[in-house]
């Protein structure tokens, strides 16, 4: 597992240097805002942002209510460096290098765990989900959003392109994975970016999305939002 984590860290260090974190921030902004608006975050909550990248969602969460403590973790030291460089000192937010399978926090420390486009990178998915369950307080909630799932077939090539193992599961399989570690209830829904797919005349093909039709399909499928509760 150590070698897998080291390879993951190198991959996302390269992404950090290439500015990929900022591109993902722009691409995911609307979906994240939609979910965060529905989370009803209260004053003084503790929130873990799993796979925080440059920390933009960590800071968004910290701003949602007075005295919210938001902690972002990422396997990539360079992503964490970018997050710390962008830190707003007015916020109670911090950023730490950590693997999903060994979170450096006490049992029951957080009220919520949030994650955007990262949980499928877990080297050991079952262990990562157990860690999420462990660090949540009884009654705490995990809010996990992913674009890479079976019912969005336009994303299937992403696993080969990233070059690290990724979990490509169906919506039902994701639900069962959370239930298997003790979350109840677990619900899923789709969130579609309100900005629409954009202007086809300005579309630029990439290996991730080789044509306009694929991009429209990914947009229409939306992001999968998994809402999982740790029983009180």
Domain ranges of the chain: 2-229
Task: For 91-119, write each residue's pLDDT tens digit.
Answer: 999 999 999 999 999 999 999 999 999 99
Residue 103 is predicted with a pLDDT of 98
Q: Provide CB contacts within 8 A for 59, sequence distance 6+.
A: 70, 86, 87, 88, 91, 93
Q: Is the pLDDT confidence value at 19 over 90? A: no
Q: Is the pLDDT confidence value at 80 over 90? A: yes
Closest-CA residue to 123 (of 97, 102, 150): 102
Task: For 160-202, write each residue's pLDDT tens digit.
Answer: 999 899 999 999 999 999 999 999 999 999 999 999 999 999 9
pTM of the model: 0.96
The mean per-residue pLDDT over the stretch 130-146 comes to: 98
CB-based burial of residue 10 (10 Å sphere; 0-12 exposed, 13-18 middle, 19+ buried)?
Answer: middle
Give the single-character DSSP code of 102. Answer: S
The two structure tokens encoding residue 148 = 């890479």
Q: Is the pLDDT confidence value at 2 over 90? A: no
The CATH number of domain 2-229, selected from 1.20.1730.10, 1.10.10.10, 3.40.50.150, 2.40.110.10: 3.40.50.150
Q: Is the pLDDT confidence value at 1 over 90? A: no
Q: Is the pLDDT confidence value at 20 over 90? A: no
CB-based burial of residue 72 (10 Å sphere; 0-12 exposed, 13-18 middle, 19+ buried)?
Answer: buried
Q: pLDDT exceeding 90 applies to what percent of the chain?
A: 90
Number of Cβ within 10 Å of residue 136's Cβ equals 25
Q: Say if CB 93 and CB 72 are below 8 A apart.
A: yes
Q: Provide CB contacts within 8 A for 225, sequence distance 6+.
A: 35, 143, 144, 145, 188, 189, 190, 191
Q: What angle do CA 185, 223, 103 make, to 5 degrees?
A: 60
Q: Is the pLDDT confidence value at 87 over 90? A: yes
Task: For 42-72, write each residue's pLDDT tens digit.
Answer: 999 999 999 999 999 999 999 999 999 999 9
Residue 204 is predicted with a pLDDT of 94
Rounded CA gap, 141 and 132, in Å?
10
């Amino acid at each position: 597992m150590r070698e897998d984590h080291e390879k993951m860290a190198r991959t996302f260090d390269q992404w950090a240097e290439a500015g990929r974190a900022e591109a993902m921030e722009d691409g995911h902004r609307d979906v994240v805002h939609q979910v965060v608006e529905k989370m009803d975050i209260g004053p003084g909550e503790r929130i873990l942002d799993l796979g925080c990248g440059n920390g933009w969602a960590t800071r968004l969460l910290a701003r949602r209510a007075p005295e919210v403590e938001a902690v972002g973790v990422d396997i990539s030291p360079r992503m964490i460096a970018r997050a710390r460089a962008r830190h707003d000192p007015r916020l109670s937010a911090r950023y730490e290098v950590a693997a999903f399978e060994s979170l450096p926090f006490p049992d029951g420390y957080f009220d919520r765990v949030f994650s955007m486009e990262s949980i499928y990178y877990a080297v050991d998915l079952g262990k990562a989900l157990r860690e999420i369950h462990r660090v949540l307080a009884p009654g705490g909630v995990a809010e996990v959003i992913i674009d890479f799932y079976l019912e969005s077939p336009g994303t299937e090539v992403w696993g080969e392109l990233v070059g690290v193992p990724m979990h490509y599961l169906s919506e039902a399989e994701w639900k069962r994975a959370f239930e298997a570690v003790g979350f109840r209830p677990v619900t899923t829904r789709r969130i579609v970016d309100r900005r629409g797919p954009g202007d086809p005349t300005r579309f630029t093909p990439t290996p991730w999305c080789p044509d306009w039709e694929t991009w429209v399909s990914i947009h229409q499928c939306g992001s999968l939002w998994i809402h999982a509760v740790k029983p009180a």
